[in-house]
Protein backbone atom coordinates (compact mmCIF):
# COMPACT_ATOMS: atom_id res chain seq x y z
CA UNK A 1 0.00 0.00 0.00
CA UNK A 2 1.30 3.44 -0.99
CA UNK A 3 0.14 5.50 1.96
CA UNK A 4 1.71 8.75 0.77
CA UNK A 5 0.42 8.64 -2.83
CA UNK A 6 -3.01 9.47 -4.19
CA UNK A 7 -5.08 6.97 -6.13
CA UNK A 8 -4.50 6.96 -9.88
CA UNK A 9 -6.93 9.13 -11.82
CA UNK A 10 -8.01 9.17 -15.47
CA UNK A 11 -9.70 12.36 -16.68
CA UNK A 12 -11.89 11.62 -19.69
CA UNK A 13 -13.58 13.91 -22.22
CA UNK A 14 -16.05 12.63 -24.83
CA UNK A 15 -16.96 14.35 -28.12
CA UNK A 16 -20.28 14.30 -29.97
CA UNK A 17 -19.26 11.14 -31.88
CA UNK A 18 -18.59 9.24 -28.66
CA UNK A 19 -14.79 9.32 -29.09
CA UNK A 20 -12.79 9.99 -25.95
CA UNK A 21 -9.53 11.61 -24.91
CA UNK A 22 -7.94 10.53 -21.66
CA UNK A 23 -5.40 12.21 -19.39
CA UNK A 24 -3.88 9.74 -16.91
CA UNK A 25 -2.42 10.81 -13.56
CA UNK A 26 -0.79 7.62 -12.34
CA UNK A 27 -0.52 8.41 -8.64
CA UNK A 28 -0.03 5.24 -6.58
CA UNK A 29 0.38 3.17 -9.76
CA UNK A 30 3.92 4.52 -9.97
CA UNK A 31 4.61 3.18 -6.47
CA UNK A 32 4.33 -0.45 -7.62
CA UNK A 33 7.76 -2.09 -7.24
CA UNK A 34 9.55 -5.26 -8.28
CA UNK A 35 9.31 -6.35 -4.65
CA UNK A 36 5.52 -6.13 -4.91
CA UNK A 37 5.63 -8.36 -7.99
CA UNK A 38 7.87 -10.87 -6.20
CA UNK A 39 5.38 -10.93 -3.33
CA UNK A 40 2.69 -11.91 -5.85
CA UNK A 41 4.79 -14.61 -7.54
CA UNK A 42 2.58 -17.47 -6.39
CA UNK A 43 -0.46 -15.77 -7.91
CA UNK A 44 1.42 -15.20 -11.16
CA UNK A 45 2.69 -18.78 -11.25
CA UNK A 46 -0.82 -20.22 -10.88
CA UNK A 47 -2.53 -17.81 -13.27
CA UNK A 48 -3.90 -18.69 -16.71
CA UNK A 49 -2.61 -15.38 -18.04
CA UNK A 50 -0.91 -12.19 -16.87
CA UNK A 51 -2.56 -9.05 -18.28
CA UNK A 52 -0.40 -5.91 -18.26
CA UNK A 53 -0.60 -2.29 -19.39
CA UNK A 54 1.71 0.70 -19.02
CA UNK A 55 0.29 2.77 -16.17
CA UNK A 56 3.03 1.46 -13.84
CA UNK A 57 6.79 1.87 -14.09
CA UNK A 58 8.08 0.25 -17.26
CA UNK A 59 10.83 -1.62 -15.40
CA UNK A 60 8.20 -3.21 -13.15
CA UNK A 61 6.03 -4.21 -16.11
CA UNK A 62 9.08 -5.73 -17.80
CA UNK A 63 9.99 -7.60 -14.61
CA UNK A 64 6.46 -9.01 -14.26
CA UNK A 65 6.43 -10.17 -17.89
CA UNK A 66 9.76 -11.92 -17.45
CA UNK A 67 8.52 -13.64 -14.29
CA UNK A 68 5.37 -14.88 -16.01
CA UNK A 69 7.34 -16.19 -18.99
CA UNK A 70 9.71 -18.00 -16.65
CA UNK A 71 6.72 -19.77 -15.11
CA UNK A 72 5.21 -20.60 -18.50
CA UNK A 73 2.32 -18.16 -18.05
CA UNK A 74 1.27 -16.29 -21.21
CA UNK A 75 1.51 -12.50 -21.12
CA UNK A 76 -1.05 -10.17 -22.67
CA UNK A 77 0.19 -6.59 -23.02
CA UNK A 78 -2.01 -3.61 -23.83
CA UNK A 79 0.70 -0.99 -24.56
CA UNK A 80 -1.17 2.03 -23.24
CA UNK A 81 -0.45 4.81 -22.54
CA UNK A 82 1.69 4.59 -25.65
CA UNK A 83 5.46 4.72 -25.30
CA UNK A 84 8.48 3.04 -26.93
CA UNK A 85 9.13 -0.41 -25.48
CA UNK A 86 12.34 -2.41 -25.07
CA UNK A 87 12.75 -5.57 -27.14
CA UNK A 88 13.19 -7.49 -23.87
CA UNK A 89 9.56 -6.76 -22.97
CA UNK A 90 8.18 -7.51 -26.42
CA UNK A 91 9.93 -10.89 -26.58
CA UNK A 92 8.15 -11.86 -23.34
CA UNK A 93 4.77 -10.76 -24.70
CA UNK A 94 2.52 -13.56 -25.94
CA UNK A 95 -0.38 -11.34 -27.00
CA UNK A 96 0.24 -7.70 -27.94
CA UNK A 97 -2.90 -5.57 -28.33
CA UNK A 98 -2.09 -2.02 -29.52
CA UNK A 99 -4.46 0.38 -31.19
CA UNK A 100 -3.39 1.98 -34.47
CA UNK A 101 -1.43 4.88 -32.94
CA UNK A 102 0.30 2.57 -30.45
CA UNK A 103 1.23 0.14 -33.25
CA UNK A 104 2.64 3.03 -35.27
CA UNK A 105 4.78 4.16 -32.35
CA UNK A 106 6.05 0.68 -31.50
CA UNK A 107 6.88 -0.23 -35.10
CA UNK A 108 8.05 3.29 -36.08
CA UNK A 109 5.90 3.45 -39.20
CA UNK A 110 2.70 5.06 -40.44
CA UNK A 111 -0.49 3.10 -39.74
CA UNK A 112 -3.28 4.72 -41.73
CA UNK A 113 -4.67 1.66 -43.54
CA UNK A 114 -4.38 -2.12 -43.72
CA UNK A 115 -1.11 -1.87 -45.64
CA UNK A 116 0.33 0.21 -42.79
CA UNK A 117 -0.96 -2.29 -40.24
CA UNK A 118 0.69 -5.12 -42.19
CA UNK A 119 4.00 -3.26 -42.11
CA UNK A 120 3.73 -2.58 -38.37
CA UNK A 121 2.78 -6.16 -37.61
CA UNK A 122 5.69 -7.52 -39.65
CA UNK A 123 8.15 -5.34 -37.73
CA UNK A 124 6.70 -6.32 -34.37
CA UNK A 125 6.78 -10.00 -35.28
CA UNK A 126 10.47 -9.62 -36.09
CA UNK A 127 10.96 -8.42 -32.51
CA UNK A 128 9.58 -11.70 -31.19
CA UNK A 129 5.90 -11.02 -30.51
CA UNK A 130 3.96 -14.21 -31.31
CA UNK A 131 0.41 -12.85 -31.56
CA UNK A 132 -0.57 -9.30 -32.46
CA UNK A 133 -4.09 -7.88 -32.48
CA UNK A 134 -4.34 -4.26 -33.66
CA UNK A 135 -7.62 -2.67 -32.62
CA UNK A 136 -8.98 -0.32 -35.29
CA UNK A 137 -12.09 1.23 -33.78
CA UNK A 138 -15.20 0.94 -35.92
CA UNK A 139 -13.31 -1.12 -38.51
CA UNK A 140 -12.69 -3.97 -36.08
CA UNK A 141 -9.45 -5.71 -35.11
CA UNK A 142 -6.62 -7.06 -37.24
CA UNK A 143 -5.23 -10.38 -36.01
CA UNK A 144 -1.87 -11.81 -37.00
CA UNK A 145 -0.36 -14.97 -35.52
CA UNK A 146 1.39 -18.14 -36.69
CA UNK A 147 -1.98 -19.73 -37.42
CA UNK A 148 -4.17 -16.84 -38.57
CA UNK A 149 -4.08 -13.50 -40.33
CA UNK A 150 -7.45 -11.84 -40.70
CA UNK A 151 -9.54 -8.75 -40.15
CA UNK A 152 -12.25 -9.34 -37.55
CA UNK A 153 -15.02 -6.81 -38.25
CA UNK A 154 -16.53 -4.70 -35.51
CA UNK A 155 -20.12 -5.15 -34.42
CA UNK A 156 -22.27 -2.29 -35.69
CA UNK A 157 -23.43 -0.11 -32.81
CA UNK A 158 -24.13 3.59 -32.41
CA UNK A 159 -21.43 4.72 -29.95
CA UNK A 160 -22.37 7.08 -27.17
CA UNK A 161 -19.09 6.88 -25.24
CA UNK A 162 -16.05 4.82 -26.24
CA UNK A 163 -14.59 4.95 -22.72
CA UNK A 164 -13.60 1.44 -21.53
CA UNK A 165 -14.38 -0.21 -24.89
CA UNK A 166 -10.71 -1.02 -25.44
CA UNK A 167 -10.29 -2.32 -21.90
CA UNK A 168 -13.44 -4.42 -22.34
CA UNK A 169 -12.02 -5.85 -25.58
CA UNK A 170 -8.81 -6.85 -23.80
CA UNK A 171 -10.71 -8.44 -20.91
CA UNK A 172 -13.02 -10.36 -23.23
CA UNK A 173 -10.14 -11.66 -25.31
CA UNK A 174 -8.21 -12.71 -22.20
CA UNK A 175 -11.20 -14.64 -20.86
CA UNK A 176 -11.74 -16.38 -24.21
CA UNK A 177 -8.08 -17.35 -24.51
CA UNK A 178 -8.21 -18.65 -20.94
CA UNK A 179 -11.15 -20.81 -22.01
CA UNK A 180 -8.90 -22.27 -24.74
CA UNK A 181 -10.92 -20.84 -27.62
CA UNK A 182 -9.10 -20.50 -30.96
CA UNK A 183 -7.54 -17.06 -31.22
CA UNK A 184 -9.84 -15.81 -34.04
CA UNK A 185 -12.85 -16.76 -31.89
CA UNK A 186 -11.26 -15.04 -28.89
CA UNK A 187 -10.82 -11.85 -30.92
CA UNK A 188 -14.47 -11.99 -32.01
CA UNK A 189 -15.56 -12.45 -28.40
CA UNK A 190 -13.40 -9.50 -27.32
CA UNK A 191 -14.94 -7.43 -30.10
CA UNK A 192 -18.43 -8.32 -28.87
CA UNK A 193 -17.57 -7.38 -25.29
CA UNK A 194 -16.10 -4.07 -26.46
CA UNK A 195 -19.21 -3.33 -28.52
CA UNK A 196 -21.40 -3.93 -25.49
CA UNK A 197 -19.65 -1.08 -23.69
CA UNK A 198 -20.33 1.26 -26.62
CA UNK A 199 -24.10 0.87 -26.39
CA UNK A 200 -26.33 3.36 -24.59
CA UNK A 201 -26.55 2.43 -20.93
CA UNK A 202 -29.95 2.14 -19.19
Q: What is the pLDDT of residues 42-81, one digit of tens each?
A: 999 999 999 999 999 999 999 999 999 999 999 999 999 8
Q: What is the pLDDT of the chain when averaged over all its residues? A: 88
The yes-or-no answer on residue 167 being catalytic is: yes
pTM of the model: 0.88
pLDDT score at 63: 98
Question: In 135-171, which positions are buried (b, 16+ CB within 10 angstroms) versus exposed (e)?
Answer: bbeebbbbbbbeeeeeebebeebebebbbebbbbbbb
Catalytic-role residue among 36, 118, 161, 167: 167
Residue 19: pLDDT above 80?
Answer: no
- Upstream peptide bond of 102 is cis (omega within 30 degrees of 0): no
pLDDT score at 24: 73
The CATH number that domain 32-196 falls under is: 3.40.1190.20
Residue 200: pLDDT above 60?
Answer: no
Amino acid sequence: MAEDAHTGVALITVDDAGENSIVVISGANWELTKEDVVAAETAVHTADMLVLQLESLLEVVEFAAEMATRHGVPVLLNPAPARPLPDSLLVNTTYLIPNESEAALLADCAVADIAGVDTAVARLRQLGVANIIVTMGSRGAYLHSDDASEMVPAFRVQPVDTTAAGDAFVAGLAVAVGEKRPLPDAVRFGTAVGAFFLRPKP
